[in-house]
Homo-oligomer: A and B are copies of this chain.
């Protein structure tokens, strides 16, 4: 998270009040139940996600409450899916080590003293260790020159035991992000941020060496839950280089009809309402209301926004861009925050690092 803007967590406070038919505990019950289901089956069928019809929801309050409980959206359990993917990666790494004696290596470069960056780097290191990837960590001091950082990158570019290089963002303001990211060798760009990778992602008939981790995680969730993308209307909210734009390109590659909604879009809710698949990556707590969603839509919520929470020991908790309590009653499937897209990002980073090592050693 870039900044900590505290806003109240209640969906209803941002615009008009809305009725909530289900108590929070009910969603939690659903989520837990679904977690067990995911751990049993790696890939669920599309029929697991029945669409809601407006007709059922337009009945009298008492009846509709019952129907809503029956039709409440499936919770897409990113934590469980990520766990499963990490398990698969560990198996592959062990197979490669046994066969050709190669262990994938990931270099993570932390620049400066940002606490949140240090936490992210630490989490990535732990995740590497858990699956058997060698992690190389370098801490470049805040007041280093651009050249010193470039030298670090260059060293890893040349090191054959390193298959992926990740420069933790954001960088100190005196450094040029574009210049730094372009210095990462295209063959080791496990973040997928190099314009050459993005260009290949955009072009038909071309294959990027790496796909950016968070959008890749979004699509992987859709795949693992058997949600069809081809021919579907998809709306991506937000057009950042690291999530929104590549997510749109990925959906397009899978034959969705994609619209990107952004800060200059007029009437975003009218466009979002047409979407079978919504990926939101704007960083605005509870921006997307239940009434903005098409009944039966699938919602992938990339936002991680801190909101005041007196009951939490930290004084805040994290919520998504989409008003979860409302979405769960309209959508056919929703990712929670936390526990949705978040855990997938690191899983995809590990997957990209493994792919890189396999590619360079021509191991299948």
In the complex, A131 has a CB within 8 A of chain B: no
In the complex, A266 has a CB within 8 A of chain B: yes
- A1-26 interface with B by 8 A CB criterion: none
Counting every copy of the chain, the complex holds: 2
Give chain B residues whose Cβ lies under 8 Å from the Cβ of A260: 252, 257-258
Given contacts A239-B252, A264-B230, A264-B231, A202 and B245 within 8 Å (CB-CB): yes
CA separation between A49 and B209, bound complex, in Å? 46
In the complex, A333 has a CB within 8 A of chain B: no
Give chain B residues whose Cβ lies under 8 Å from the Cβ of A262: 255, 257
CA separation between A19 and B240, bound complex, in Å? 46
B205 with A178: CB separation less than 8 A: yes
B257 with A271: CB separation less than 8 A: yes
Give chain B residues whose Cβ lies under 8 Å from the Cβ of A202: 195, 198-199, 201-202, 245, 249
In the complex, A206 has a CB within 8 A of chain B: yes
Give chain B residues whose Cβ lies under 8 Å from the Cβ of A201: 199, 202
Give chain B residues whose Cβ lies under 8 Å from the Cβ of A266: 231, 233, 257
Given contacts A231-B264, A271-B257, A199 and B194 within 8 Å (CB-CB): yes
Chain A contributes a number of interface residues (CB within 8 A of B) equal to: 34
B259 with A203: CB separation less than 8 A: no
Give chain B residues whose Cβ lies under 8 Å from the Cβ of A178: 205-206
Secondary structure class of chain A's binding surface, majority of residues: mixed
Give chain B residues whose Cβ lies under 8 Å from the Cβ of A252: 239, 260
In the complex, A174 has a CB within 8 A of chain B: no
| Least CB separation from A177: chain B residue | B205
B195 with A241: CB separation less than 8 A: no
Give chain B residues whose Cβ lies under 8 Å from the Cβ of A197: 199
In the complex, A32 has a CB within 8 A of chain B: no
In the complex, A200 has a CB within 8 A of chain B: yes
CA separation between A36 and B124, bound complex, in Å? 64
Interface string of A232-274 (1 = CB under 8 A from B): 0100000111000100010010010111111011100001000
Residue of A199, A200, A205, A262 with most chain B CB atoms under a 10 A cut-off? A199
- Which of the residues B195, B200, B257 comes within 8 Å of A203, measured between beta carbons? B195
Give chain B residues whose Cβ lies under 8 Å from the Cβ of A199: 194-202
CA separation between A196 and B196, bound complex, in Å? 4
In the complex, A155 has a CB within 8 A of chain B: no
- Which of the residues B196, B198, B204, B257 comes within 8 Å of A264, measured between beta carbons? B257
| Least CB separation from A249: chain B residue | B202
| Least CB separation from A266: chain B residue | B231
Give chain B residues whose Cβ lies under 8 Å from the Cβ of A264: 230-231, 255, 257
How many whole Å from A6's CB to the nearest CB in chain B?
A: 27
| Sampled A-B contacts (30; CB under 8 Å) | A178-B205, A194-B199, A195-B200, A195-B202, A195-B206, A196-B196, A196-B199, A198-B198, A198-B202, A198-B203, A199-B199, A199-B202, A201-B202, A202-B202, A202-B245, A203-B241, A203-B245, A204-B239, A204-B241, A204-B245, A230-B264, A231-B265, A231-B266, A233-B266, A252-B260, A257-B261, A257-B264, A257-B266, A257-B271, A258-B260
- Residues of A at the B interface (CB closer than 8 Å) are 178, 194-206, 230-231, 233, 239-241, 245, 249, 252, 255, 257-262, 264-266, 271
